Chain A
């Protein structure tokens, strides 16, 4: 176990408690035998017990590996994830093709490409998706005001 498990363990612990609480609202036993809450209730208990093992092991015997969030959560990653969320939020408003073109352009710019090149590659991506999925495979995708 690592240092980070000292705070990840409690997260799983409370998640397990939440599951047990929610499962206890369901039927534990029914005329069919075990009820709809039986399986998730025991899974909640298992999660709580495993979380306790993680917490105890993390405090008693940490490996000492430096796995704090800082080196992993760069601004670039946060921006990329926010762009991804923005894509999901706007995809039904502007349509899939425009949304994926904008997302691609933003991600390429984020990786250091010039706006010109990012837009060119992203436009090609959008056109490629339209031709392959919409025209060739007839996949249903969210349509925008321009009809694609």
Chain B
């Protein structure tokens, strides 16, 4: 009953005209970002975050979350029309979506992607409503050692799943944690790693780092690669040409459900991300199809399942972020960082202390999904026309937005130098296959982890065994260790099993 009351209260917040407007702005920006290659969710949220500082925190979170899940809707458009995914989570949509477009069924492919996104996004929110408060109740019994263990496990899980090499992902995580120590030490008030540079005494902003790594780095990566104009299918402007037939919907009814379940479960796991959920969903659709031979040749289930999965994933990813204060990706890390910047303490008390924000945000995601469905069906031709804009016209704009966003935080040119440095680092990380998302996660979670670690050490009077003598923290540390040794064990197992 409490749940229903809270949700109703959330809808009262989400349906306020101002919040509806910010939700609409968020999902529209999200769709555009999802469509445009070269700018992703994390970059978009980081760039626009400083512009929300003067806003009410609930309205700001509603808008930023709108960008976060809106990108998943937009990502499918480029996959289907130009065989180039706008987002990594839409890579798999290229396989059958583009084939459908080749067969003259671009409209139904776009339509089913929007409908699957809507259904899975909405069903995923039920999961968030049920699981979020449940997890919160468990986490309320956590003390500093359990928090430290939980965040260590979360970061290890991200490193395990984020990149091709767990060692490289752990390295970037450690660098992110280290960057979080720059500036004043919250316990002793002493300065660390500022090298007598007063601009660094407040620390390095995660906005600057995330914008540099994900936006400037991406621009540098694309310089010189953008001269070719994309070949694109024409999209009918008539709504009925975009709607899939009843038979299509019937064929996809279980794909929606499977996509939702896979997307939500994968979303809850820190680090798994929507690329994994969409690939898993595609594999499952092929496995359960009566005609697996159609996959790769324009099977509509191959679009519906993954597109559903990558949307349910966003609701799943909100579960640990809201209930535990544990983000599992670059995007949710920036959202969590935004909460901290608005003066909101993330963690299990969030549901109790900030019901307006949490339930308003959850209800706004329902509203946002409806808006996205309405936006994405009739306005697809308009959004698709943006793809005609060559990327070379776009990236000076992206850079300009990055500079404005970062400069407006503290009016400091030092931050622009830091931005340029992380832009170069983001580009180098990209070409040498070092994942950037764990660095941002480390930077955002660093102060929380360090505080939990040092509070634990105070509790135990300096004895590190405190993490192993308490059952919950010991179990979580155990999971982290298993994740760390898993790649080595799997490799040796493969070595033994192969002749």
Contact = CB atoms under 8 A, between A and B. Distances in A.
Q: A and B bound?
A: yes
Interface of A: 1-2, 4-5, 8, 12, 19, 22, 26-27, 29-30, 32-40, 43-44, 46-47, 50-51, 53-54, 57, 67, 72, 74, 76-77, 80-81, 84-85, 87-88, 91-92, 96, 100, 103-104, 107-108, 110-113, 121-122, 125, 129, 133, 137, 139-142
B188 A81 contact: no
A119 to B, nearest CB: 12
Contacts of A39: 177, 181, 450, 453-454
Contacts of A142: 407, 413
Contacts of A34: 453-454, 457-458, 462
Given A34-B458, A36-B190, A111-B226, 15 more contacts: A1-B167, A26-B190, A27-B190, A29-B462, A36-B192, A39-B181, A47-B178, A57-B167, A77-B224, A87-B403, A100-B399, A111-B227, A112-B392, A139-B51, A141-B408
B411 A51 contact: no
A93 to B, nearest CB: 10
Contact of A91 (B190, B223, B413): B413
Interface residues of B, number: 55
Nearest to A54: B167
A47 B432 contact: no
Which of A26, A43, A133 is most buried by chain B, counting CB atoms within 10 A of its CB? Answer: A43
Nearest to A48: B174
A32 B187 contact: yes
Contacts of A37: 192
A44 B117 CA distance: 43
B153 interface: no
B397 interface: yes
A122 B393 CA distance: 9
Interface stretch (B16-24, B353-361, B415-423): B415-423
A142 B227 CA distance: 32
A36 B185 contact: yes
A48 to B, nearest CB: 10
Q: Is the interface of A mostly helix, strand, loop or mixed?
A: helix
A54 B396 CA distance: 36
9 contacts: A1-B165, A4-B432, A8-B432, A47-B174, A50-B167, A50-B170, A80-B220, A100-B400, A111-B226
B494 to A, nearest CB: 13
Contacts of B142: none
Q: Is the interface of B mostly helix, strand, loop or mixed?
A: helix
A100 to B, nearest CB: 5
Contacts of B199: none
A77 B223 CA distance: 6
Contacts of B417: 88
B454 A32 contact: yes
Given A43-B181, A139-B408, A84 B420 contact: yes
Task: In the A-B complex, list the 5 residue pairs whose CB atoms are closest, starting with the nearest.
Answer: A104-B396, A111-B392, A33-B458, A36-B185, A76-B224
Interface string B167-180: 11011001101100
A29 B219 CA distance: 44
Contacts of A30: 187-188
A77 B220 contact: yes
A84 B216 contact: yes
A137 B433 CA distance: 38
Contacts of A32: 187-188, 454, 458
B487 to A, nearest CB: 11
Contacts of A110: 223-224
B404 interface: yes
A54 B168 contact: yes
B4 interface: no
B424 interface: yes
A129 B462 contact: no
A108 B227 CA distance: 11
A50 B51 contact: no
Interface string B215-232: 010011001101100000
B404 A50 contact: no
A74 B224 CA distance: 8
B189 to A, nearest CB: 9
B395 interface: yes
Contacts of B174: 43, 46-47, 50
A88 B192 contact: no
A107 B395 contact: yes
A13 to B, nearest CB: 11
Nearest to A25: B192
Contacts of B185: 36
Contact of A33 (B167, B416, B419, B457): B457
A46 to B, nearest CB: 5
B90 to A, nearest CB: 25
Contact of A51 (B171, B193, B431, B454): B171
A30 B224 CA distance: 53
Interface string B451-467: 00111011001100000
Contacts of A2: 432-433
A50 B171 contact: yes
Contacts of A40: 178, 181, 192-193
B458 A129 contact: no
Nearest to B453: A39
Contacts of B427: 77
Contacts of B190: 26-27, 36
A38 B168 CA distance: 23
A36 B396 contact: no
A139 B187 contact: no
Contacts of B216: 84
